[in-house]
Structure 1
């Protein structure tokens, strides 16, 4: 029987020394990679968009900065170099065009989230952050009443009670300190964590009581950091399988602890049933609407997933925002004076400071908005996946199966959209008729400021966040004279993994003697 020439060639090749075979394979791979890179950089449908060639050729530069935690900072520099639309991956572009908000996040059909940006839930049940299509609509419709204006009015006593506890805890901590210095970031964290766990799970972690200390906030940040890196690895199949298993094994104990604790607390809250008239929380409208079939209402597993998601999101975002507001005010005494005068002019006693009473304080609102603009707690892109047919985004046709998104930090800090974008100017958010407003801020493109996203997937809890931020900041600055400890010039230079990494903010507190 005659041997096939092809088989003969293969046999001869395999009989060569292993070093030659390895060299051939390496050369073949290098050729494949080089050919692919040339195609991606010069001939891919996204090649018409500007950006660094190395980022267009490979996901490695993007992933490197995700792992380093400085992607937001690098993207800012890329936008300044290349313009409003930048290609940041073989299949991804980012834009800071304000008119793109509608095209990406509002226009029908609604674009799905990029699947590579999602962390699969460990219990197999989706949250509002990962659910898609009808599942997302069903879950949101079930939970939305817990975040209405009416619900917020009923939840206000919980928010106000923990703000009072925060002031008491800060007074105790300042009294214990030899120089009055306190890490206010840590206690902002305890306050927001107690608030959101009480609202989301039916009971708090009692971080503000007595001299209690805990590391739950860092544990939940660790959960968010794990998700960010895990999503990054998903781009590198099949290497992601091996690296993912290693990461999962390292983080399993912490993640299981988070899930077990949240599940236990939600089970206890559900056992209490309908508490209407006694107390209101995010779960109040859900009672009686559990549906294990997932047709109407929400399943118990989905409720647990969302409870954990709410806790992670709220405690970290609100803590970062409050810390940033305090830092920025302390760096600018004139702005601090403006806000303190507004607060102490509006309230004669601490108990007058409530969710309702702080709503009309225009400078307080401006300070919070400017803090969000300058240092958004989640300096991330919001990536969406285009359909195979592609879509026109802000006048440009983007080819199908591409990923496109707006980075919250970048669009709010762009010199092309804001007057002195890296300078703290709360006045830019005042009405033009306000005597403190300056006409130079007419240059600002306010349409770029969408801190809670937009469309059917916007932040469900933004009103709760604003209520927390207003009451906490108002109570702290009404009750204390606050002074920065040290220069802390680089405090805003923080790593970010979904959210900015918690960073101590030592301040000196002295009780305001004019209060009652």
Structure 2
């Protein structure tokens, strides 16, 4: 082996040229078998990623769609936003900079176009969910949130009658009884609290969990009566956080496996306890039916349809999984929505006054407020809608997979196998579709003839507002949520004068979101009305 030394002259001294030295060293290394393998082993991954980046930027079927360059070649920006709990803010920024359709990853788009809702979520055959956005089912049994195809159809058909208008009418006494317990609890607590100030989010969590547990299991957790802050409430946000991070890392092998093992180990005790508790409660509810005890709840249509044949009805493991999912989702969404509505009302005194006026003039006594009576209060309905618009409890983007042959979505050709979804929170607060999009204006949802209707919102595009999604994967519990949220909020407004405490974070709306927003404590001073 010989090495030829290349020299240059500097001030009369012969000196080896740096480039020549590097070339000589590389030549020497490549002539050595061991180093030859090492160099090529390091070179090929680099070459692969460089060529992949060039392809993604200039030749990929999605290269024509706007978006940040780094996101076009790597999922790292998306993963970072998810780990930070700030994906909704990241999507807001991207759509503000790049428009209605944005490339957020090498093979993924998000859209905020109103016309995309029907093309994505009402399409037949149904577009599949992106598996990377799904948390694996517990004990191998899917829920309505994760099941696909025939399995999802079978489950939804089994549960649907439990969420019908008729079922809701029969479930009214349950919802009304807990709304009354909620007011009684506030009366007990505020009188002994320092400065009559309570964390309202905590008590909204109690009523949300008690209602949904009773409707699911036939018995509540007695949070309103006995201070039972069940472990599901305490552990939900941790589970949601780990789940969102795990999903965002699912493209990064082996990091996803490592994180998954850590998550499973950290939450093993909590998951086992929840599963055991759920199985026991479901058994108890089914035994009630066997004993001839009749009641109307989410389980009523399931009675007699539990089987292991998978042809119709639902298996026992699926029933357990769905029950657990319903309780967790239902309680947390109610808590987040009611906390947000209360905060926004108290930050907007005129809006708060208008709601007070409507609620307090509609009845003479608190007991007259019921699920049916609050349905006739348009400003209350508008407050709930505007709350969901401006700060949806689940600010996600509902990704689906385009069929291999590709399809047109809102007038744009989307290549096959592309992952695409509507960025729900961004669509609901985009200046493309809403006047003063980040302002809290329930007036935008009022009917034309209402005294507080405001024409400045007449051009708002309500087709961009689908807080419960649409199609066969829309929220089955939306009517129950609306009934509960309206009644609890109306009773609170009727019974108390509310004032936002200085203890509440001034930037309360600035929250992290892992599947759902994680609200900060909401400290409110209560003064009971003299009626």
Q: Does 1:433 align with 2:449?
A: yes
Q: Is the 8 A contact 1:224 1:312 kept in 2?
A: no
Which deviates the most, 482-491 or 205-214? 205-214
Secondary structure (helix, strand or coil) at the match of 1:297 reads coil
Please give the alpha-carbon distance, in whole angstroms, between the structure 2 residues aligned to 1:250 and 1:212. 23
**Alignment match, 1:196:** 212
Please give the alpha-carbon distance, in whole angstroms, between the structure 2 residues aligned to 1:145 and 1:206. 26
**Alignment match, 2:90:** 74
Please give the alpha-carbon distance, in whole angstroms, between the structure 2 residues aligned to 1:105 and 1:16. 59
Instruction: Give matches, 1:371-386, under 5 Å.
Output: 371-386=387-402
Secondary structure (helix, strand or coil) at the match of 1:156 reads helix
**Alignment match, 1:8:** none
Instruction: Give matches, 1:51-450, under 5 Å.
Output: 51-273=67-289, 278-450=294-466
Q: Does 1:457 align with 2:473?
A: yes
Q: Is the 8 A contact 2:356 2:493 kept in 1?
A: yes
Closer/same/farther in 2, CA of residues 151 and 94 from structure 1, 3 Å limit: same
Post-superposition offset of 1:21: 5.0
**Alignment match, 1:5:** none
Post-superposition offset of 1:347: 1.4
Please give the alpha-carbon distance, in whole angstroms, between the structure 1 residues aligned to 2:264 and 2:370. 43
Which deviates the most, 186-195 or 25-34? 25-34
Please give the alpha-carbon distance, in whole angstroms, between the structure 2 residues aligned to 1:329 and 1:16. 74
Q: TM-score normalised to the size of structure 1? A: 0.94
Please give the alpha-carbon distance, in whole angstroms, between the structure 2 residues aligned to 1:420 and 1:23. 58
**Alignment match, 2:516:** 499
Please give the alpha-carbon distance, in whole angstroms, between the structure 2 residues aligned to 1:107 and 1:295. 25
Q: Is the 8 A contact 1:197 1:205 kept in 2?
A: yes
Post-superposition offset of 1:277: 7.9
Post-superposition offset of 1:283: 0.2
Q: Over residues 389-448 of structure 1, what are the superposed CA-to-partner deviations in whole Å (9 max), with x where a residue is unaligned?
A: 111111111111110000110100001110000000000000112121111101210111
Q: Does 1:481 align with 2:497?
A: yes
Larger Rg: 2
Q: Is the 8 A contact 2:505 2:520 kept in 1?
A: no
Closer/same/farther in 2, CA of residues 26 and 294 from structure 1, 3 Å limit: same
Q: Over residues 434-481 of structure 1, what are the superposed CA-to-partner deviations in whole Å (9 max), with x where a residue is unaligned?
A: 121111101210111110000111111100110110111011111111
Please give the alpha-carbon distance, in whole angstroms, between the structure 2 residues aligned to 1:266 and 1:212. 20
Please give the alpha-carbon distance, in whole angstroms, between the structure 1 residues aligned to 2:245 and 2:499. 37
Q: Is the 8 A contact 2:213 2:221 kept in 1?
A: yes
Please give the alpha-carbon distance, in whole angstroms, between the structure 2 residues aligned to 1:107 and 1:275. 44
Q: Is the 8 A contact 1:226 1:251 kept in 2?
A: no
Q: How many residues align?
A: 503
Secondary structure (helix, strand or coil) at the match of 2:145 reads coil
Secondary structure (helix, strand or coil) at the match of 2:458 reads helix
Q: Is the 8 A contact 1:128 1:306 kept in 2?
A: yes
Which deviates the most, 432-441 or 242-251? 242-251
**Alignment match, 2:17:** none
Q: Over residues 89-132 of structure 1, what are the superposed CA-to-partner deviations in whole Å (9 max), with x where a residue is unaligned?
A: 11100000001100000021111111111112121111111111
Q: Is the 8 A contact 1:388 1:401 kept in 2?
A: yes
Instruction: Give matches, 1:12-27, under 5 Å.
Output: 16=32, 21-27=37-43
**Alignment match, 2:487:** 471
Which structure 1 residue ranges, 4+ long, deviate > 3 Å from structure 2?
12-24, 210-215, 274-278
Please give the alpha-carbon distance, in whole angstroms, between the structure 2 residues aligned to 1:23 and 1:256. 49
Post-superposition offset of 1:63: 0.6
Q: Is the 8 A contact 1:125 1:301 kept in 2?
A: yes
Q: Which runs of 5+ in 2 are unaligned?
A: 1-27
Please give the alpha-carbon distance, in whole angstroms, between the structure 2 residues aligned to 1:287 and 1:107. 32
Closer/same/farther in 2, CA of residues 274 and 377 from structure 1, 3 Å limit: farther
Q: Does 1:34 align with 2:50?
A: yes
Secondary structure (helix, strand or coil) at the match of 2:128 reads coil
Secondary structure (helix, strand or coil) at the match of 1:87 reads strand
Closer/same/farther in 2, CA of residues 322 and 123 from structure 1, 3 Å limit: same
Please give the alpha-carbon distance, in whole angstroms, between the structure 2 residues aligned to 1:274 and 1:475. 37
Please give the alpha-carbon distance, in whole angstroms, between the structure 2 residues aligned to 1:494 and 1:57. 29
Please give the alpha-carbon distance, in whole angstroms, between the structure 2 residues aligned to 1:23 and 1:306. 53
Please give the alpha-carbon distance, in whole angstroms, between the structure 2 residues aligned to 1:235 and 1:77. 23
Please give the alpha-carbon distance, in whole angstroms, between the structure 2 residues aligned to 1:399 and 1:81. 23
Which deviates the most, 378-387 or 19-28? 19-28
Post-superposition offset of 1:238: 3.5
Please give the alpha-carbon distance, in whole angstroms, between the structure 1 residues aligned to 2:38 and 2:522. 54
CA RMSD of aligned residues (A): 1.8
Q: Is the 8 A contact 1:234 1:240 kept in 2?
A: yes
Q: Over residues 288-322 of structure 1, what are the superposed CA-to-partner deviations in whole Å (9 max), with x where a residue is unaligned?
A: 11111111111111111110111121111111110
Closer/same/farther in 2, CA of residues 158 and 22 from structure 1, 3 Å limit: farther
Q: TM-score normalised to the size of structure 2? A: 0.92
Closer/same/farther in 2, CA of residues 202 and 17 from structure 1, 3 Å limit: farther
